Amino acid sequence: MNEQHVDVAIVGAGFAGLYATHRLRNLQGLSVQGFEAAPGPGGVWFWNRYPGARCDFESIHYSYTFDEALQREWRWSERYAAQPEILAYLEHVAERFDLRRSFRFDTRVTSAVWDDSTERWTVTTDDGNVTVARYFVNAAGAFSVFKANEFPGEADFRGTVIHTSRWPAEGIDLAGKRVAVIGTGSTGIQVSQTIAPQVAELTVFQRTANFACPLGNRPLSDEEFGEAVANYETRRVESRDSIAGAPYPRAVKSALMDSPEERRKVYDKYYQGGGFRMLASTYYDLIFNPEANATAADYIRDRIRERVKDPEVAELLCPTDHAYGTKRPPFEIDYYEMFNLPHVRLVDARATPIERITERGVATTDREFEFDVIVLATGFDVGAGALMRMGVVGRNGRTLTEHWADGQRAYIGMATHGFPNLFHINGPQSSATLFNNPLAIEDSVDFVGGLIAQADARGHTTAEVTEAAEERYNELVREVADATLFPTATSWYMGANIPGKPRTPMYLFTGAPMYRAICAEVEAMGYAGFSFDGGDTSLPNTMRLDGSAVFLLAGLMNMGAKPLEECDLDEARAAMEGFRLMQLPIPADVTISDLSYPIDSGVRTARLYRPAIEGPLPVVVFLHGGGWIGGSLDSFDEPCAALAQRVGAVVVSPDYRLAPEHPFPAAIDDTMAALRWVTEHIGEYGGDPARIAVGGESAGANLAAVAALRARDEGGPHLCAQVLVTPLTDPMAETESRRIFAWGPILTSELGARMVSLYLGDPMQVTSPWVAPALAADLSGLPPALVITMEVDPLRDEGEDYASALEAAGVPTVCRRFDGLFHTAYSLSGAIPRVAEIQEAISDFLALRLSAEQVAATSVV
């Protein structure tokens, strides 16, 4: 037995293992020992040599970006490279960067055990040798363990049974043979369509039909390659900023916004576009809106029916048990036309399940089929299945298998609590399933390399994700999944394709930009969530957010939405109006009408929302948000209508003047004018002028708070309550929340300061109580207040401080913080289900304060 000591042990010599070796050895100067079960490099592309194996991302995107010369010198021959070419590419990379010498091929890891006393990993291999390493890197990949044959009788078969992942390098002669292909996922489709012209008979056993779209493969012309090379830098940036990690056109609207004819044109374009464009470039709501998804699913089913001549076969090939995209979409080259050939037949293995492999072929519940060759295209144990078979043992003798008894999980897809100095490349709960893998791998390796470099530079010997960070990230992954349609399908995305495997989201379903943003935030905060030598650490801000909020923000990133702080005035206003698309439908039992109210310079519009209830009803004057520079009656239709329905009140929403065209005090003057008009006229619309509350969100909450002050000081109107949702109460406040949430989301400190500046016109007004109600000399005598704050909001602390000041002044005050939500969440009810909790809190508060009995009792006092 030989024993060697190195800095890093790496398992796997595919895309991940090769780049990890280059980065850690060639660029960071660490000693590296790699292990690979195959005789050479290639990883999944070494083992999967079956006919038709090829990538479904374009070759020019499915490649490394870390070396400019490498990108230019390798000439891809096809738009979508086949397995031999990808394997040749990886072998070229191994030679070019001298990576082979760091690997022991034909070698399997049999155990990897952490020693707390030496703070080292002891890695044992099947040849009896031992490697002791400071760091252990899992680069084995998600598709390195194929799904075992589940059908009995394989040994009885007189012909050949072969799994696609173990196709021999010399190939199999299928000419003139009777062949069965079991499985119709990506692999089954590829192998079937490729061997169909060669065989005498082809029988495809299908348990689940899939939404396959044309791959659109063709030779890559010199012009196409030259253009790609000339624009590689731009393309790579665009790729990393796109949902799938490739520079596809962005989907920027809902499928339900287009007419059926318009949708057909969009789907026609991207159905033939190749790659993941049908999912990534058509409509943004396909993976979370069942109604939108149905339009794409119906379109693909119609195309299948057009392409398959036999109507019964066509219907069997039409998926009906899952939404489009909730299983990884496969791609095909004349797959459906294949079923028009006389020697190809389709067997419904769901209606007549396979019982066993027999001496002569395959027996179903209906009959026995005779074959010469049986091809098992039954998929993989996706995730870190290979690592779980390596006997990994962490702190206190706890095995990785025990730790993952309830499902594989890893903090940002890279680290597992209780297993110090163990890092996964594109591991469980990364975003790899929706992220072009070579780019995702580079990002993951670079993150791990940076973490190791920081640990070494600071003299740390261990880096381990905390239990709290791992648990919260695991919750986030589940919450994000629950915001999508993915859990509705039985798929390897959910770990549901392997009997006995816990059903749990295997990946973070946000797309590349959000996942990359989370990793960047973790790194920027000094690798937040990681404990170095047992030291304290904090969670990154994004992980404080509710999963639905993260999914919403991811959607904005995927659409390429410009951050508000980077927008000019018109862009910012348009973006705020766009929030309407993320709201629930307006309640049908609320009538909406526009009316006018007078101001000093003319008249303004107010919108009235009235539930179908006999009056007189309590009244809420509600001011929309938008930083005094944006927002509108339209953008707050749903929040106001929902408020009217829940409270059973007449809600009036004034259209106040916006800055900078109309700076301070125009907006607050309009607010006061609206309150006075409501007091005098609301009885004509079924409202009770003795039961009026004022409220607002964000800048609207600032106006509501100031209105309460002015109404007290100016002798009316009388207000029974005030509702302040995420209010700005002091533009100059220096609070902890302004510091830790300076970069938002949505509202950043920079954006808030710009809005205040545009609103004020004259900066000297910043200390006026009509701008900063928290600076009022006296807060007593104000109406009872409900102050609502969001955990991840720069304005959180000043809102809560204002609630405390109101209470100290004798004002009955309720303060509610909603953890996991951010500024503007209140107006995003369709995207964030927990907005219902905010609405309920407002309803409960106002139901008490605006009840006739409460108002009568208060007036007597």
552-582: per-residue pLDDT in tens?
999 999 999 999 999 999 999 999 999 999 9
Same domain, 277 and 327: yes
Average confidence score pLDDT of the chain: 95
- Over residues 33-50, the mean pLDDT reads 95
Single pTM value for the model = 0.94
Please determine, for residue 860, whether its predicted confidence score (pLDDT) is greater than 60. no
Same domain, 732 and 621: yes
Q: Is residue 637 part of a domain?
A: yes
Q: Is residue 149 part of a domain?
A: no
- Over residues 834-859, the mean pLDDT reads 88
SS (H, E, C) 700-719: HHHHHHHHHHHHHHCCCCCC
- Residue 853: pLDDT band (50, 70, 90) is confident
Quickly list DSSP for 275-321. TTHHHHTS-TTTTT-HHHHHHHHHHHHHHHHHH-SSHHHHHHHS--S
Same domain, 602 and 699: yes
Please determine, for residue 146, whether its predicted confidence score (pLDDT) is greater than 90. no
Give the pLDDT confidence score for residue 170 in this predicted structure.
92
Quickly list DSSP for 498-566. STT------S-TT-HHHHHHHHHHHHHTTSTTEEETT------GGGGS-HHHHHHHHHHHHTTPPPGGG
pLDDT tens per residue, range 828-840: 999 999 999 999 9
Pairing of strands 344-348, 201-206: parallel
Residue 249's contacts (CB-CB under 8 Å, 6 or more residues apart) are 277, 281
Both tokens of residue 369?
A: 């089929």
Give the pLDDT confidence score for residue 150 in this predicted structure.
87
Which of 379, 380, 383, 361 lies closest to 370, judged by CA?
361
* Residue, of 799 and 493, whose pLDDT is higher: 799
pLDDT tens per residue, range 700-741: 999 999 999 999 999 999 999 999 999 999 999 999 999 999
Same domain, 175 and 60: no
CA 583 to chain centre: 19
Distance CA 17, CA 38 (A): 13
pLDDT tens per residue, range 454-475: 999 999 999 999 999 999 999 9
Last residue of a domain, one of 315, 344, 376: 376
Residue 170's contacts (CB-CB under 8 Å, 6 or more residues apart) are none
- Residue 1: pLDDT band (50, 70, 90) is low
Same domain, 194 and 297: yes
pLDDT tens per residue, range 393-406: 999 999 999 999 88
Q: Is residue 477 part of a domain?
A: yes
* Residue, of 279 and 1, whose pLDDT is higher: 279
Give the pLDDT confidence score for residue 386 in this predicted structure.
77
Which of 743, 725, 723 lies closest to 796, judged by CA?
725
Same domain, 716 and 835: yes
Sheet hosting strand 602-611, strand order edge to edge: 590-599, 602-611, 650-654, 617-623, 687-697, 721-725, 785-792, 813-822
Same domain, 217 and 101: no
Q: Is residue 564 part of a domain?
A: no
Is residue 567 exposed (0-12), middle (13-18) or buried (19+ Cβ within 10 Å)?
A: middle
Percentage of the chain beyond pLDDT 90 is: 90
- Residue 861: pLDDT band (50, 70, 90) is very low
Last residue of a domain, one of 553, 585, 620: 553
Contact 316, 206 (CB under 8 A): yes
Quickly list DSSP for 729-781. --TT---HHHHHTTT-SSS-HHHHHHHHHHHHSSGGGGG-TTT-GGG-S--TT
- Phi, psi dihedrals of residue 134, rounded to the nearest 5°: -70, -40
Which of 4, 19, 2, 17 lies closest to 103, judged by CA?
17
627 Ramachandran zone, left/alpha/beta (phi>0; psi -120 to 50): left
Give the pLDDT confidence score for residue 143 in this predicted structure.
67
Give the pLDDT confidence score for residue 732 in this predicted structure.
95
pLDDT tens per residue, range 503-556: 889 899 999 999 999 999 999 999 999 999 999 888 999 999 999 999 999 999
Q: Is residue 532 part of a domain?
A: yes
Q: Is residue 160 part of a domain?
A: yes
Same domain, 242 and 322: yes
Per-residue DSSP letter, 84: H
Is residue 33 exposed (0-12), middle (13-18) or buried (19+ Cβ within 10 Å)?
A: buried
Q: Which stretches of 643-717 are assigned E, i.e. beta strand?
A: 650-654, 687-697
Q: Which residue has the tokens 């469980």?
A: 428
Same domain, 390 and 358: no
Q: Is residue 433 part of a domain?
A: yes
- Residue 667: pLDDT band (50, 70, 90) is very high
Last residue of a domain, one of 352, 376, 400: 376
Q: Which residue has the tokens 């219902």?
A: 836
Domain that holds residue 789: 572-860
Distance CA 194, CA 204 (A): 13
Per-residue DSSP letter, 663: -
Please determine, for residue 818, whether its predicted confidence score (pLDDT) is greater than 80. yes
* CATH assignment at residue 792: 3.40.50.1820
Q: Is residue 560 part of a domain?
A: no
Same domain, 448 and 537: yes
Same domain, 362 and 389: no
Distance CA 557, CA 560 (A): 5
Distance CA 209, CA 336 (A): 12
Same domain, 525 and 658: no
Number of domains observed in the structure of the chain: 3
Contact 803, 787 (CB under 8 A): yes
Please determine, for residue 604, whether its predicted confidence score (pLDDT) is greater than 70. yes
